[in-house]
Amino acid sequence: MDFVKVWESKWNEALKLWSDYVKLTPAKFLFTESEEKGEGLTTSFAAIRLKDHRVLLSVRQIQHYKLEDFALEILGHEIGHHVFCPGDLADQAKLVYITNLAMPRYNHLTPMIVNIYEDLFINDHLKRQNNLRMEEVYKKLGKQKDPFWNFYMRTYELLWALPTGTLTEGTLSDQIQSDAALVSRMIRNYPNDWEKAMFDFASICFPYFFETNQESNSKVIKSLLDTLDAGKGLPPPSGLTDVEISSELFPTEGITGSKRSLSPAEYSTICKSMGIEADISEITYRYYKDKALPYLVPFPELITPGAKEEILEGNELWDPGSPIDKINWLESTIKSPVIIPGYTTVEDVFGETTSNEIKLNPIDLDLFVDCSGSMPNPQNELSYLTLAGAIIALSALKTGSGVRVTLWSGEKEFLTTNGFIKNEKEILKVLTGYFGGGTCFPLELLEDGYKEVPKRKRHILIISDDGIDTMFTQTYPRDPRAIVKNALEKACGGGSMVLQLYQPNNNPVVNELKQSGWEIYPIKTWTDLIQFSKDFVERNYVRNQILR
């Protein structure tokens, strides 16, 4: 085990291969199989864990392959995954997605293909920029007859001007020679923009597995896979709603040549490929949050000129029924060194005086989103209802508004947040749920929520289709029209309905709602909801923004 101390002494030198400013926790050496399993080092002799950016090294496997003399080569390679390729989880996710598109039905091979592709960039950089003995590492691993391995090794031979047979085994086919030549050009042409060549690289790799209809069983390949389960222990990556797919060799209509918008199902597949252990609600929450962020708009606030200003008038006895944070501990201690709650504790008393300050009063949002069988499942495909709701809800939270989200479908079939809250994750987790049942608007929520005038004004927003007529046509023990009218009046902030209607002018319930004060916004397709969400504030609040 003497080599371990040598490797430890070379850690800072390995960091400087990339930059004088790179700071990472020193590598962790693992001496037994149980230690390797516990740390998540499964097949390779070295890896970097993106969760904490810790390099892991298997002492027994390094000895098995006789790699003790290659400290800088192996340490520098693992550090390269952190600072160079992929660098972060979002870039890794993009490469995974592009590879999935290029290798249909073989997505289980995606982590391996991405890993090998990244290794090409890192190893070529270390060889050319730092003159490290990268080819000697592969010589120690040994030659293989596997066609894919020979294609991979031939690429290194071309990159580093090595004679044929230095790393490869036997006579190479014309296909291997051609593929290796193409890939070597990619590595040199895109040293800092590897996403551009990922689709072509994966397309070149695809036939090696498709034609044999089996995965390479080479233990050597598996020993090199140091970014498998790169996302284990991490939350789903952000910034991954659109990915640009480019190809110089295999342009495919409908796939390459433009940005592709990921579906929630594709996003979920990417997370699983990277070993991210998150439930579907967490993944869907992250997806719609990222989708909504570019569209956030200023949410309405009521402006009160000459708002009252509080002034301290004195103290009074603190009541045990009051919040404990109201106690003025300094004054209570001065009054009595022995603190007895309710007897010696006091709280501050404030009065009001006029001022020139302007007070902003956020309007709370009461959002109802139809989730019946006629609506898409937001966990599988992009739901514009969910996206529009996310845009408006997140916009409201930015200005301090409270938001209640209700997802509704059939009778007594609804999911709602615990009142008007400001927790974006809880709001979006409700919003991204799905029922897919019948249609029956939850009148009980309007009835219970608006028995009294709320402390802050609210705007009621409903997103639905022709199923909105169940607001009046359902069997309910009390008058639905009176309940709806009362809610609109007590909310004091107005009400809007965004409806996809088959006959916008011939729906009697919709016409009645419009006449009773609801703002009706008919749309033709659900994609129109994006434009609605942008216009929502200006169309509803700008003209009545100042409250006197």
Predicted local distance difference test score (pLDDT) of residue 130 = 95
Same domain (yes/no): 247, 383: no
Question: Cα(91)–Cα(164) distance, rounded to whole angstroms?
Answer: 34
Task: Give the CA angle between residues 252, 254, 258 to the nearest 5°.
Answer: 90
Q: Are residues 537 and 408 in the same domain?
A: yes
- The neighbour count for residue 482, using CB atoms within 10 Å, is 10
302's torsion region: left (phi>0), alpha (psi -120 to 50) or beta?
beta
With a cut of 70, say whether residue 421 has pLDDT above it: yes
Over residues 347-370, the pLDDT tens digits come to 888 776 665 555 556 789 999 999
Judge whether 328 lies within some domain: yes
pLDDT of residue 27: 93
pLDDT at 545: 46
Together in a domain, 405 and 535 = yes
Tell me the C-alpha to C-alpha distance, in Å, between residue 515 and each of 294, 460, 485, 520, 522: 35, 16, 11, 10, 15
One domain, residues 47 and 75: yes
pLDDT at 224: 81
Residue 297 lies in a domain: no
Contact 342, 392 (CB under 8 A): no
Inside any domain, residue 296 = no
Co-location of 430 and 517 in the same domain: yes
Is position 75 within any domain?
yes
Whether the per-residue pLDDT at 29 is higher than 90: the answer is yes
Q: Is 467 among the domain residues?
A: yes
> For 448-484, how does the pLDDT look when each residue is reduced to its tens digit (9 = 90+)?
999 999 988 999 999 999 889 999 999 999 999 999 9
- Based on the fold, state whether residues 36 and 22 are members of the same structural domain: yes
Residues 92 and 77 both lie in one domain: no
Neighbours of 488 (CB within 10 A): 19
Average pLDDT, stretch 288-306? 71
Report the share of the chain in percent with pLDDT over 70.
92
Residue 446's CATH number: 3.40.50.410
| 136 assigned to some structural domain | yes
Q: Identify the domain boundary among 233, 250, 265.
A: 233
Same domain as 335, residue 371: no
Q: 162: which DSSP letter? A: P
What are the residue ranges of helices labelled H in 211-342? Answer: 219-223, 264-273, 280-292, 329-335
Between 54 and 226, the more confident residue is 54
pTM: 0.79
Say yes or no: 388 and 500 in one domain. Answer: yes
Q: What's the DSSP call for residue 421?
A: B
Domain membership of residue 299 (yes or no) is: no
Peptide bond into 86 cis (omega under 30): yes
Highest mean pLDDT pick, 42-51, 164-173, 328-337, 503-512: 164-173
The amino acid sitting at 234 is L
Q: State which of 83, 113, 145 marks the end of a domain.
A: 83
Q: Indicate if 408 and 466 belong to the same structural domain.
A: yes
Q: Is residue 416 part of a domain?
A: yes
pLDDT at position 533, please? 81
Three-state secondary-structure class, residue 397: helix
Same domain, residue pair 327 and 367:
no
Q: Does residue 284 share a domain with residue 347?
A: no
Tell me: the pLDDT tens digits for 372-418? 988 899 999 999 889 989 988 988 888 788 999 999 999 999 999 99
Centroid of chain to Cα 307 = 40
Considering all CA atoms of the chain, what is the largest pairwise distance in Å, rounded to the nearest integer? 95
- Alpha-carbon distance of 161 to 184, in angstroms, equals 11
Q: Which domain holds residue 23?
A: 1-83
Q: Tally the domains of the chain.
A: 5
Mean pLDDT, range 297-311, rounded to an integer: 59
Average pLDDT of the chain to the nearest whole number: 87
Confidence at 543, pLDDT banded by 50, 70, 90 = very low
Closest to 431 measured CA to CA, from 292, 541, 277: 292
Last residue of a domain, one of 54, 83, 112: 83
